[in-house]
């Protein structure tokens, strides 16, 4: 009986040692996994900080982080300068408002990453269509605004058509065809005139909505 008891004790002690070793190994594995998780969490935090810093830098520089075009703030400043220049020189000022057709479906049906890809590609197409003296910015959402150089004021519709054609040529795998509609407006700035740069943008915006009403993927002119 004593020998049997001793053997049982020895067996149980051996099993306990084995279980203890397994437990220690499991704890080491958990500790390693927790360390890996902590490292990943830290890397993610650092990546978020870098992204936020880049966005702040872009905002300070007047750039839209997604399209790398000037942002709304930079546009407002450029519009004021262009209107003031027209008042001084008597030259015309032309504005084009652009909007991606049916943009909501890209986000709703294909996800926001698809919508971001569309915005980025459209921004590139716009930038590549401009002359050095023209100005383009992301107005907000899926809208963009162009300020056409004074010497090209009455070529604003042609510029809008060139941008429209460039966007129509964008190819994005597994996504619907991308098109834009555009509204164009031209005026001669005058001191004390109520229209102002904002009024010119509003007029171009009305041309844009007329283009939408007439079937999209087209350019319409609306004179203030």
Catalytically active residues, by annotation: 142
Distance CA 16, CA 92 (A): 91
Distance CA 224, CA 119 (A): 29
- What kind and span of H or E run contains 73? helix 72-89
What secondary structure letter does DSSP report for 153? G
Q: In the sheet where 143-148 sits, what is the strand order?
A: 135-140, 143-148, 93-100, 180-187, 219-221
Distance CA 55, CA 68 (A): 11
What 3-state DSSP class applies to 195? coil
């Amino acid at each position: 009986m004593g020998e049997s008891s001793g053997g049982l004790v020895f067996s149980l002690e051996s099993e306990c040692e084995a279980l203890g070793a397994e437990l220690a190994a499991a704890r080491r594995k958990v500790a390693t996994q927790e360390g890996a998780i902590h490292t990943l969490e830290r890397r993610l935090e650092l990546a978020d900080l870098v992204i936020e810093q880049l966005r702040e830098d872009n905002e300070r520089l007047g750039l839209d982080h997604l399209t790398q075009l000037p942002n709304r703030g930079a546009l407002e400043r450029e519009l004021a300068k262009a209107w003031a220049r027209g008042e001084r020189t008597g030259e015309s000022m032309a504005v084009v408002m652009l909007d991606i057709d049916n943009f909501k479906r890209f986000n709703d049906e294909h996800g926001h990453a698809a919508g971001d890809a569309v915005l980025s590609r459209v921004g590139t197409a716009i930038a590549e269509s401009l002359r050095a003296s023209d100005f383009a910015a992301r107005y907000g959402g899926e809208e963009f605004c162009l300020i056409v150089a004074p010497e090209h004021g009455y070529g604003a519709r042609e510029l809008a058509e060139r941008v429209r054609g460039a966007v129509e040529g964008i190819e994005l795998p597994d996504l619907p065809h991308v098109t834009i509609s555009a509204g164009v407006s031209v005026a001669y700035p005058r001191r004390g005139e109520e229209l102002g740069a904002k009024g010119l943008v509003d007029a171009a915006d009305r041309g844009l909505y007329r283009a939408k009403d007439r079937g999209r993927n087209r350019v319409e002119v609306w004179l203030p």
